[in-house]
Chains A and B, each alone.
Chain A
Amino acid sequence: MKFLAIILLLLALVLEISITTIPFVFLVLLCLTVVLRENWLFLLAFIFGLLFDLLSFKTLGVSGVFLTAFMFLVLLYQSKFEITTGYFVLIASFVGSLLFLLLQGYTQVILIQALVSSIIALLLFKSIQKFNKPLEDISR
């Protein structure tokens, strides 16, 4: 699963620095966090946050701070709510995308972008969940 996570994040990074403002790196990390709940995801958030900042001319570390903090908040919620649900992913990705876009200084149609981001996150979440299930069965 680690390999798949890295591939997904690399793909998201390339898309985000070349052609779109939709926060793909954030969305992939959020979905992976919700499904896998693994500690090594913090390392990936840190590395890909740095890469994103480097390649998009942002202050180094800013995205890393946001990504790790948001992941931490998501994991904190797991003790209070069931986070492995579509509703949670929709709401978390909408709020997170909105904040991330504002942090990056984007101003164009950010509400619509956040809405589209949350739909993408939901699809991504369902796909990762489906893909992860057989792997879990094998490991058992």
Chain B
Amino acid sequence: MRKSNFTSYFLVFFILSLLFVGISKTGFLNPLDALLKDIFSPVQTLTYGAFNRITGFGQNSEIQLLKNQNLSLAQKLVDQSKLIGDNKALRDQFQTASPKSPGLIPADVVGAPGFIPGLSFPEFLILNRGADDGVKTGDAVVYRNNLVGEVTQVSANLSGVTLLTNSSSLFTAKTLDTQAQGVVKGQGGGGVILDNVVLSESLKKDDLVLTNGNINAQNSGFPPDLTVGKIISVSKNPSDLFQKADIQPLIDLKSLEKVFVVVNYR
């Protein structure tokens, strides 16, 4: 192939690509975007589902059952703790807490790119719900009252979710038993830590970590008391300003197929 021959082809498509970078910022391509996502979404779902079946093949059903029971028990523990708090407030101040029922949209996970499918933690999830369904940037994504992540990108029919384990994930949280306040930071590769906890507060192994809640005026953000995970180890050094703890999410973020987007928290 002669140099001048391929140089002209390169220049045409390179400049076209650059043009698209500019045009995409204007939103002019949104209809095309929606159409192509509609076409590819079923294929994505099928591929992701098929790989989940393959990697999940041979998993002990009893272990899966115990995992589900564990999730239910953790949920009951959080509910019970909340009820005790509500009851105390009622007794003390004769006030009832307003019922909080978040508006949930069920969504299928259509993509979860990770290094090795089914083994590596995905960097983000792609859901088959978008702006047309009422999903907006900043909405929380949950599974059985467990926090999965935050919607960070939205198109008409799809949305991108940054997982709580992603290294860009950062939000405030508290522990269930000791009510220690801290900042949850994703570490990438499935790791999550509760950091910036002052030394005077108590952190203990197996305590659950819950979201503090950061719903904003646009009604997006994390509702309070979503389970982030449980503490598996605490690192406390008297010479440090803060202590931190490693958290393990209670749900398997690698094999999620259905999640819920919190779109209207009241």
Contacts and interface: CB of A to CB of B under 8 A. Distances in A.
Interface stretch (B39-47, B67-75, B216-224): B39-47
Q: Which label, helix, strand, loop or mixed, suits the secondary structure of the B interface?
A: helix
B17 A49 contact: yes
Interface residues of A, number: 45
Interface in B175-233: 188-189
A103 interface: no
B18 A18 contact: no
Most chain B CB within 10 A, of A39, A46, A53, A108, is at A108
A43 interface: yes
A92 B4 CA distance: 22
B57 interface: no
B134 interface: no
With a 10 A CB-CB cut-off, give which of B36, B113, B121 has the most chain A CB atoms.
B113
B24 interface: yes
B3 A76 contact: yes
Contacts of A139: none
Contacts of B160: 57
Interface in B16-71: 16-25, 29, 32-33, 36-37, 40, 43-44, 47-48, 51
A43 B43 CA distance: 23
Nearest to A112: B115
A49 B37 CA distance: 15
Given A19-B113, A37-B1, A42-B6, A62 B13 contact: no
Nearest to B14: A68
A124 interface: no
A61 interface: yes
Given A21-B113, A107-B167, A62 B21 contact: yes
Contacts of B1: 37-39, 75, 78
A57 B153 contact: yes
A14 interface: yes
B21 A72 contact: no
Nearest to B10: A72
A72 B44 contact: no
A54 interface: yes
A79 B7 CA distance: 13
A131 interface: no
Nearest to A67: B17
B18 to A, nearest CB: 6
A18 B110 contact: yes
Interface residues of B, number: 51
B111 interface: yes
Please classify the interface of chain A as helix (H, G, I), strand (E, B), loop, or mixed, using the class held by over half of its residues: helix
Contacts of B118: 19
A106 B116 contact: no
B129 to A, nearest CB: 14
A109 B189 CA distance: 9
A127 interface: no
A25 interface: no
Interface in A1-37: 14-22, 37
A61 B111 contact: no
A95 interface: no
A111 to B, nearest CB: 11
B126 interface: yes
Nearest to A11: B47
A71 interface: yes
8 contacts: A20-B113, A37-B1, A42-B12, A49-B17, A55-B126, A69-B10, A72-B10, A109-B120
Nearest first, the 6 A-B pairs at minimum CB distance are A61-B20, A64-B17, A60-B24, A61-B21, A19-B117, A18-B47
Given A42-B6, A56-B126, A60-B20, 13 more contacts: A14-B43, A17-B126, A19-B47, A37-B1, A49-B17, A60-B29, A65-B18, A68-B10, A72-B14, A75-B1, A75-B6, A109-B115, A112-B115
